[in-house]
Each structure stands twice: as structure tokens, then as C-alpha cells.
């Protein structure tokens, strides 16, 4: 209502005349909001290709023409190869107004030959059919193996896609073996070769082929017609029936085929497919180094704990009873030794098994001297650090034994053996002066061989005078 009232004001001249720029901007907003993106079909004329990658041309039919622009066409306009003077095309674009000229314009986003409308309809029909059958369901997708040993390639032997895949595999995982099943990826009847290749690689034992862990099916980019063999129902069902995980890598990132929806994983490009199926060798080496560092850390911690116990024993051993002082450190040391040994053995056994499995698999596929050297270094590391731990524990035991002997030497038992004795009253008090006792008092004298009990028959006297026991 307000817009109609405002328009009436402008038409009556109540609010003054509207500026040209304002009117053109309103026209632009109306077109972009009301129409937006739309498919248009017509004939290309007056095509101009700029050095910066922009395309300018007109799209016409028998009764009208429309100015069009494809900005950075090679990067942002899919199918720009179809733009030729006189070509019949269908375009997806945004309707707008070029304000500087007040001219309606179509900003082109996608171009397909006009004759592809039937193919697009067939694509959508088959896509709907297979979706309703459940061939696109996520629960049917198989996960990719973490460490594949052999990868099957169903693609052209002379295409750029093969070179891209091999280049990525050689860089990331040179130990992986690639098995090529060459097929035609374009032209009438090419889908039959693709179906045959998928079927044979999915059942390799019956066709005298090596069993692959994952299969990459794909080709480089192209038009909808070029990629149509991968939109055939027979190819889709062959992918769905294959027991081996399949990665679809057909065309460029903007291209989608029926094979992409049925495959276990869709990759935007053949190079991206190769990166998806194999791990990065550099990353694996970093993980091995992390395992190496993780094995050293607990050993160092246990050694520091044992050293702390030794320092504690040294500070308190002369002021306390030997057995009481040594009891707790001994228990803690035994527990630390058992825990350290158990942890080290578990970690080393677990990592050793993993490394042994990988080493056996890699040796069966491709010689890798660098990996073998690292595995040998890990085995040497295990033996070296287990030996070091044992030596450290032996040293701790030796130091504890010396402490026991020292206590025995300095303790009261050694004095008894040299002829000294200790006399105690019946109440347990140490007798150091004859005046402490009187006639009739019972005494206990500790010597090396035991305790002598006696009774005082005379009065206590001074230490320097003769006395009577």
C-alpha cells in the first residue's frame, strides 16, 4: 500500500521528480528480487572476450535480445566453452540492471548447449528413480580403508585424470600399488566398458586380477554430453553391486553425475580422490616420531621418581629405625618398578605389533629402505631403554643395600657386638648413674647375646667409687 501511494505521489508530482539513478536502482531491485536466477534459452551474438577473463555478449531470439555478462568466466561460469557466436545455448543467470546505462542485463553463472535439455531431464528422472530405490542411502556406503595396499583405477589410460592420480599417489604414499583397468570414458557405448571393468575388479579372483582395497572410477572434466556415460543406469548399478569401496571422481568440482550419488565416496576431482584414499607419508612419519617420544617420557618419569625416593631415604635414614625408614621406599620402589615394566612392555608390544604389521605389508608391495631403517631404530630404542631401565633399578638396589649395611654399622647392634651393653630399670629407663638405683631394684642389661636380669643388693654410689652389684 505504501509503495502504491508513493508511486501515485511521484506520478502526480506531489513529492517532486524522481532522479534517474534512483529510478534505475529501483528497477534493479525489482528485477533482482522478483525474478532473481532464471534459465534463458537463445542464440549467442556479438561475443567479446576480455583479457581479464570477462565475457560480454547478447542473447537473442527472433523477437528480442538481452545483454549478458560472464565475469571471470573461466573460474565462475560453468560450461563457458559453449559460448560461441551463433551457438544455441541455455543459461542460468541473475537478471539485473546495469545502472550506468539503465540497461537490463543477465549475469551468467552456467551455460549448457540448448540441445542438452533432454539429457538434463533424463538425468533428473534417473536420479529420482534410483533415489526411491534406496541406492543413495548412507547406510549402504562402505568406509574407505585407512591404509590401502592396492588401489584400482577405472579410467582412460591416456587421460589427464590418470596422470593426476598417479602423481598424488607417488607423492603421498609411494608404497601403494596402483592397478589400472583402462576404459573409454567418453563416446557411445563407453558405459559398457566401465561396467565390465567395475564388475571384474569387484570379483578379481574369477578374472585373475589382484584384489584392490579401494577403486577410483573417474575422468577429467567436460560438458554434460562428455560425462554422460557416468549417468547411465548400468554404471550406477555396477557401482552399487561392487563389494569393494568405490570413489567417484568424475569431472570438476561443479560437475555431478549419477555415479557420484551411488558411489561410497564422491571426490570433486581425480586428484582429490587420490588424496582421500591414501594417508600422507609425512604425517605417518610424524606419528612414528610421536610414538618414539611417548616411549621415552614414562621411563624418564619413573627414574625421576626413584631418584626422589633415594634422596628422601638419605635425609632420614640416620634419625629413624632402619626397618621403618626403608619399608615404605622399598614398597614404592617395587611398585614403581612393576608399573614401569608393565607400561613399557604393553606400549612396546602394542606399537611393535602395529609396526611389524605395517612393515610386512609394505615389504610385500614396495621396497622402502627408509621405513625399514626407522623400524630397526625403534627396535634398538626398545632394547636400549629397557636395558637402561634395568641398570637404573640395579643401581637403586645397590644404593639401598649400602644404606642397610651403613645402618647396621652405626646402629646399636654393632656396639653390642663390640662388648658394650645397656642397662635399663624395671620401668624401661636407661641407667647412666649409680644414684638412679637402690637396693632391691630389678635391672635388665642388654648385651649382644640377649638380656641379663639382675637385682641390686647395695646402695647406689658415685661413679668414681667402687661399687657392689
Domain boundaries, the chain: 2-118, 142-277, 281-410, 412-469
- 435-459: per-residue pLDDT in tens? 888 888 888 888 877 888 888 887 5
pTM assigned to the model: 0.44
Given a cut of 60, whether residue 211 has pLDDT beyond it is: yes
- 266-323: per-residue pLDDT in tens? 998 999 999 999 987 777 777 777 777 777 778 778 888 877 777 776 665 545 555 6
Residues 144/246, Cβ–Cβ less than 8 Å: no
The whole-number pLDDT of residue 467 equals: 41
Given a cut of 70, whether residue 420 has pLDDT beyond it is: yes
- 85-138: per-residue pLDDT in tens? 888 888 899 999 988 888 889 999 988 887 656 677 788 889 999 999 999 998
Task: Give the other-Cβ count within 10 Å of 118's Cβ.
Answer: 8
Report d(CA 56, CA 51) in Å as an integer.
12
Residues 60/45, Cβ–Cβ less than 8 Å: yes
The CATH architecture annotation of domain 281-410 reads Orthogonal Bundle (1.10)
Quickly state the pLDDT bin for 77 (edges 50, 70, 90): confident
Given a cut of 80, whether residue 392 has pLDDT beyond it is: yes
**Cell triple for residue 274?**
587420490
Average model confidence (pLDDT) for the chain? 82
- What b/e sequence results for 40-60 when a residue is b if at least 16 CB atoms lie within 10 Å of its CB, and e otherwise? bebbbeebeeeeeebbbbbbe
Quickly state the pLDDT bin for 466 (edges 50, 70, 90): very low
The whole-number pLDDT of residue 15 equals: 57
Superfamily of 142-277 according to CATH: Succinyl-CoA synthetase domains (3.40.50.261)
The whole-number pLDDT of residue 432 equals: 84
The whole-number pLDDT of residue 144 equals: 92
Helices and strands in the chain: count of H runs, count of E runs = 13, 13
On the 0-12 / 13-18 / 19+ scale of CB atoms within 10 A, 134 is exposed
Class of domain 2-118 (CATH, top level): mainly beta
Amino acid at each position: 500500500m505504501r509503495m502504491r501511494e508513493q508511486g501515485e505521489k511521484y506520478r502526480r508530482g506531489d513529492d517532486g521528480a524522481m532522479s534517474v539513478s534512483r529510478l534505475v536502482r529501483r528497477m534493479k531491485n525489482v528485477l533482482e528480487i522478483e525474478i532473481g536466477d532464471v534459465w534463458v534459452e537463445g542464440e549467442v551474438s556479438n561475443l567479446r572476450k576480455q583479457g581479464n577473463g570477462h565475457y560480454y555478449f547478447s542473447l537473442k531470439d527472433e523477437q528480442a535480445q538481452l545483454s549478458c555478462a560472464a565475469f571471470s568466466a573461466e573460474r565462475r561460469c560453468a560450461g563457458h566453452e559453449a559460448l560461441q557466436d551463433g551457438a544455441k545455448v541455455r543459461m542460468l543467470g541473475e537478471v539485473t540492471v546495469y545502472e550506468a546505462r539503465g540497461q537490463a542485463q543477465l549475469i551468467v553463472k552456467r551455460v549448457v548447449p540448448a540441445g542438452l535439455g533432454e539429457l538434463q531431464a533424463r538425468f533428473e528422472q534417473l536420479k529420482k528413480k534410483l533415489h526411491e530405490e534406496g541406492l543413495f542411502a548412507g547406510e549402504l556406503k562402505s568406509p574407505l580403508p585407512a591404509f590401502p595396499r592396492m588401489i584400482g583405477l577405472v579410467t582412460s589410460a591416456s587421460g589427464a585424470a590418470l596422470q593426476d592420480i598417479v602423481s598424488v599417489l607417488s607423492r603421498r604414499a609411494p608404497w601403494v600399488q596402483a592397478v589400472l583397468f583402462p576404459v573409454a570414458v567418453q563416446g557411445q557405448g563407453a558405459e559398457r566398458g566401465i561396467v565390465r571393468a567395475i564388475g571384474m575388479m569387484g570379483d578379481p579372483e574369477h578374472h585373475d586380477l589382484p584384489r584392490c582395497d579401494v577403486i577410483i572410477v573417474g575422468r577429467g572434466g567436460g560438458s554434460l554430453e562428455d560425462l554422460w556415460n557416468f549417468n547411465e543406469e548400468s554404471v550406477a548399478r555396477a557401482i552399487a553391486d561392487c563389494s569393494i569401496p568405490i570413489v567417484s571422481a568424475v569431472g570438476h568440482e561443479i560437475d555431478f553425475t549419477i555415479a557420484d550419488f551411488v558411489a561410497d565416496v564422491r571426490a570433486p576431482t581425480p586428484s582429490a580422490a587420490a588424496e582421500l584414499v591414501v594417508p600422507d607419508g609425512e604425517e605417518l612419519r610424524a606419528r612414528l616420531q610421536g610414538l618414539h617420544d611417548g616411549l621415552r617420557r614414562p621411563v624418564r618419569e619413573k627414574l625421576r621418581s626413584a631418584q626422589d625416593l633415594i634422596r628422601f631415604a638419605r635425609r632420614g635414614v640416620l634419625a629413624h629405625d632402619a626397618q621403618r625408614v626403608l619399608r615404605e621406599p622399598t614398597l614404592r620402589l617395587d611398585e614403581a618398578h612393576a608399573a614401569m615394566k608393565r607400561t613399557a612392555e604393553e606400549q612396546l608390544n602394542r606399537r611393535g605389533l602395529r609396526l611389524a604389521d605395517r612393515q610386512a605389508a609394505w615389504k610385500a608391495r614396495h621396497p622402502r629402505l627408509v621405513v625399514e631403517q626407522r623400524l630397526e631404530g625403534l627396535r634398538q630404542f626398545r632394547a636400549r631403554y629397557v636395558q637402561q631401565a634395568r641398570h637404573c633399578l640395579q643401581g637403586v638396589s645397590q644404593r639401598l643395600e649400602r644404606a642397610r649395611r651403613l645402618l647396621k654399622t652405626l646402629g646399636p647392634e654393632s656396639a653390642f657386638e663390640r662388648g658394650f651393653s645397656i642397662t635399663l630399670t624395671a620401668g624401661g629407663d636407661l641407667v647412666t648413674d649409680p644414684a638412679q638405683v637402690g637396693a632391691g631394684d630389678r635391672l635388665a642389661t642388654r648385651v649382644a647375646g640377649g638380656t641379663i636380669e639382675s637385682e641390686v643388693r647395695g646402695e647406689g654410689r658415685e661413679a668414681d667409687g667402687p661399687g657392689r652389684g
